[in-house]
Structure 1
């Protein structure tokens, strides 16, 4: 999920871009924008970059382990084949 500092920054930028006549409502606008952004991001089911990178690393290790196991199975099957011929 996006961190709250980024949400606050986005909300502040949006409220800063509002016309001067509505700036007195800035705090309320920031709260509403932040709330809207947060609920929108939650519906998108986003993950943080850190969580994504962790999952990528885990997948890479899993693929390496799978390749090792496939090689071991192939070697064991190769050893078993000559014994079956006898």
Structure 2
């Protein structure tokens, strides 16, 4: 998250030149406080959860096909 704060600071300073007058530690501290209040995850965590979701979706689709086949066989 520290890298994120640094990149955000650079972007903010590029967009708002008046921030150049504010001491870097003050801006970084404010950004870090704001970032820590957010419910953020790393890209790795996101990718891991996306993979779990994809596997779960595959299993659900397979189970739905099994149920459909069972219903047709009893039908």
Q: Does 1:44 align with 2:46?
A: no
Q: CA 1:9/1:78 → structure 2, altered by over 3 Å: closer, same or farther?
A: closer
Q: TM-score normalized by structure 2?
A: 0.67
Q: List per-residue Cα deviations over 1:36-65 (Å, max 9, x = no partner).
A: 111111223122122111111111111111
1:54 — aligned with what?
A: 48
Structure 2 partner of 1:65: 59
Distance 1:41 1:4 in 2: 9
Runs of 4+ aligned structure 1 residues displaced above 6 Å come to none
Question: Whose Rg is larger?
Answer: 1
- Give the TM-score of the pair, scaled to structure 1: 0.60
The alignment covers a number of residue pairs equal to 68
Structure 2 portions without partners, runs of 5+ = 14-18
| Consecutive unaligned residues in structure 1, runs of 5 or more | 23-28, 82-86
